[in-house]
Structure 1
Amino acid sequence: METDGAFMHSHMFLLTGVRPLDACMGESGTGRPDGPGNVTDRTIQQAAADNERCSIAIFTEEPGTMDLDGVSVSLNQGSAIQLRPGSRYCMVNVDGRRAGWLIEFLTCRVGNSSSVAGGFPLLPYHREIPVSPVTALCAIVERLSRASGPPDEPAALRRQAALLELLALLMESQQRSHRLSDAAGAVQLTVAYVKEHFTEPLTVVQLASIAGVGRWQFSEQFRRLTGQRPLDYINTLRLNRAKELLLLTDDPLRDIAQSVGFRDEYYFNRRFSRMFGCGPKSYARFRKSGASKPHTAPAASFRDHQRSQAGPLRLIVYGGLLGDVLMLGNKPLGAALAVMGRQVVYRDKLDGIADIGITGETGAIAALRPDLILLEKEGNREICKESNIPVVSFKRTEDVTVRLRAIAALLGAEREADRWIAWHEQAAEGMWAALRSRIGTGETATVLVQIGERLFVMGNRGLAASLYHPRGFRPSDGAKQLVAEGERFREIAADELPDYDGDRLFLLVSGEASSKRKAHLLADSSAWRSLHAFRGGNIHLSEAKWNYDDSLTRERVLAELPHILAARI
């Protein structure tokens, strides 16, 4: 059997027709009468009956439905399908709009003018091929379908070159589609591998190599399967095992840390405290003693408190943790609402929560008599020094699902967190499936935030975390660098915009009309006009409130994303 390379070197391809795919209503054999620009059921069936002609339908302008030998197949915008020679098929499109083009060509052996029977053997028959990038597909089809100018030899040669580009793009897209399908199964095997070997030294590069996929693709697939990034998932397994060992043995912390896979005792201590709200020594001492009220207020005491008291924990919350706490069913006594309270998308849930200021007023906090204070970042512990109220801090760089589980452990709401994470993953899959016809496979995106005259590009946080989904967008090259370096965001100047250009740009501004006017002025500048996303009409404008990085905002983003995609500058 010839390899792909051998086939392409031993054959040549002659373009014979480029015709629009118009709607052909009804069953096969009942198409509209022939006319200029129409591909009717009868004319398509003639092409199908010709065993020497290759026919490929390209859906560049609309999704479409085809009847293939009596089987209805729905095809997305930005996809292609090779039609089997001799088969019966027609377009079925109820709205009557043009969906794309029918490309026809002959295949001949080099040195032989006779065409070869059969279609193009390097592409499957009657199977959708998602094409990426869609912009490249549209550009090639535009060159193929261009009818202006005299039919001279240079123009014919350019069309032949465009045909070869099209075949190469379809072959690459088909191979990529197979790799993505195979990658999910390979990554699933590495999840099982991690569960067996989490106490050993493991790296993302090593696991990606085991799966046989690229590091970025591996991390995204892993997060989709587990709800966590690979290293977070490994650390969760290690820390849960460490909890068991703390209760079962009296081994030194250094030995326990090393036995579960941590080389550094200090790092183990820090990760344990962040996940469970107390250090490993405090956790072991409290759980082994069976005391009803420990001196250090570890996470276990808060869970016991919730089970033993009539009401939930009395909380004070600072920063974006508020959305997570509300999601878990706990309404705090107070929160820093002076600025955030006017911006978040869940303002309807803030009634009854006292505003304790950005820096925290000690007297006001003490008057509320909270059990616990949650901080979004390290520092500012002086707000509770006088009242001696326990404090748990979380870094802003913490992944939302990891942070949600840690907060849930404090509140005794682990089941609620697990249910939300599972629901959110399923809901995101459904949303992206519904949006599939509106974005192309492999399209890239960048999220920009405008605050006054300053411009910021987001890493994998806020709205970007929802957009960068295996079924959604990939980060642009510039945004991918931020993600790889773990940066939440970076301030940039206008002349740096080309470094973050992608197929689409999402510009987030304040909800005030003046800021939106500034955004439109910015979009009219020369820096913006040079961008690929601007030239393609793919700059989407929305409000900065969708950039908060908490579970409650992410839940509501799923319903808002279709509207954000429709809002273009």
Structure 2
Amino acid sequence: MKISYTSEPGLDISRMSIRLLSAELHTGSSGELVEQHLTIPGVFIALIGGGGELIRESGGVRLERDHIYACPPESTFGLAAGAGSDLSVVILRFQLRSDNRDPADLEAIRRLYSELDGLRLNPPGHLASFCRKMHEHLASGDRMRSWRAQLDMGELLYQLLNEGKKPARDGAKHDLDRARHYMREHYKEELSIERLASVAGFSPKYFVDVFKKTYGISALDELTQIRMNQAKKLMLRSDRLLRDIAHEVGYADEFYFSRKFKQVVGMPPTAYMKKRGRRVAAYGSTALIGYMLPLGIIPYAAPLHPKWCKYYGDRYGADIPVHMNAYRQNHYKEQNMALLEQAKPELIVTSGGLEEKERARLSAIAPLIELPGDERDWKTNLAALAEALGEQAEQQLWLRRFEEKAALVRQQVQSDSAAGGRGKKVAALKLLKGKLSLFVSSGLHDTLHVELGLELAAGEAGQEFNMPVTARQLAELDADLVLLLVCQESETLASWSALKESTEWMSLPFVRDNRLRLISSEPWREYSPVAISRILDECAELLTGNCP
């Protein structure tokens, strides 16, 4: 659909075409609604009802009615409903192309997504109704209505460019955002509820109530989190006295600060500084974090991303001062090495396979500890890292606890099998871009076969295994339980939506008999001690019939 409009400087939109690829309606309640995934085409997201948050690489943003949210191609996002709230959204995936092959046009199109993001369309309710109608047209299967959806997609883009307005900075939400921003800028000062309420323009009582209702946390608790996170960074990045750090983050009394720090973090500041005294960086694979944590080491610098290592980011992000970009597992090498040069770590832990220039540049920053990768089993790699870091005692303690857990899960699985449960033979399938494969990852093999003694449908030699399967092979698959990993990228998710509704899929014996369970890339495709331990936790449910 040709658009006759010029907006972005240097970009002639009259020479562009837009094609709607899919229109998805997602509805759910509290918690994750759409898992973090990589979208290949561009995306528009419109709130239909309820409330929730859009989580992107740059952070989270609360969804508002009548606003469009744009994600450029090759970016990641996820959606979560608010606490105690329902959420309904329409996700439009589309291709936006220029007739010109000029790289400058491609960059201009990418900037256009940024310009469109957050635009408001009037009148109220129009955007939600328009997007829902597009979904209904495309889902109808009627060719004429599908064509109507294509026309509507062009019309939506035209309306956004021609009539869309950046939201005015007013209303309760923006007043609260102003107070939150004020906290981040003035956390060093004495901040009372009265002062924060004044910044927002509310009475203290109303401010307390609406802040907790909007963000799910009290204003003072959020202020405490801001201060403690800043205190952690100061402890790791400087040799300041505890008294000075307390004053730097807004506490006049260092003893009160110490008590508050222990209450929030779980240990006194002195213990935290002693435990985190070494500046050890993880460079490259996010799995390296899963080798360092069992040794009692939280990295000083590490690659983080809401899709590729959400688990580590959610739990340890605030404790890692320097965040490198883990997009597609170290896609931004130059940027990440530049961050390490600024951070000046004492040691850098990295995986094998470094390019010579990369190794030379990293070696100039700090001594390297290179783990050989998946060609050696995780226990051998953990022992090698523990020896290099002098943390053998921590390693042995962690392994002892792991072995105790593995023995308990193994006993549960064997008891369940003897009682006529799921049996001992497991097959794993992977769906990627519409193609199904029988696969075995190193983590899957070491957990299911080595630790739990289960029989695998393939790959028992310990090698990574990936073999495309036909419909006939699926129908004849000999397994008591089938695990399915659906790769989290837009093309695969679209193919999964179609596949799971097909008669052929629903007639497969393992689907019909409820012997299919979904697993996720994280942790099942990661190979590290922490990932193996997490897979073991999931196996306790998957293999004993307790999985909902």
TM-score, length-normalised on structure 1? 0.39
Q: Which of the pair has more CA radius of gyration?
A: 1
TM-score, length-normalised on structure 2? 0.41
